[in-house]
Amino acid sequence: MSVFVPHATAGLVVVEVGSGSDDDLLDALDRLLPREDRLYRHRHGSPGHGADHVLPLLAAPSLTVPVVDGRAALGTWQSICLLDPNADNAERTVRLSYLAG
């Protein structure tokens, strides 16, 4: 299965959610991509929007996951999550593609 998000400020990650790990991921993202406008040339939109456009460097807009017996073959604690801190756009599209094999 191929998963793709066609947005310039969004990425996909495979991560454990719950137990605090999703909050840890967001905290790490804030440390790696500070939301200070003075750090970025791209400054339109909400504060920190320049950092939003650098996010795909860390979280790609696509990923591939094997499918076994009709289900994504993820590990016990793994989930596919859309990561997009862009507050300027509340709607996102996710595209899924499957190849029979």
The mean pLDDT value of the chain amounts to: 91
Model-wide pTM > 0.85 = yes
C-alpha span between 4 and 93 (Å, rounded)? 9
C-alpha span between 56 and 83 (Å, rounded)? 9
Q: Per DSSP, what are the bridge partners of residue 67? A: 72
How far is residue 54 CA from its own chain's centroid? 12
- 2-97 folds as Jelly Rolls (2.60.120)
Kindly indicate the confidence band of residue 101, based on its pLDDT and cuts at 50, 70 and 90: low
Q: 8-17, 39-48, 81-90: lowest mean pLDDT where?
A: 39-48
For residue 64, what pLDDT is reported?
Answer: 96
- Hey, where are the domains in the chain? 2-97
What percentage of the chain has pLDDT greater than the value 70? 99
C-alpha span between 92 and 6 (Å, rounded)? 8
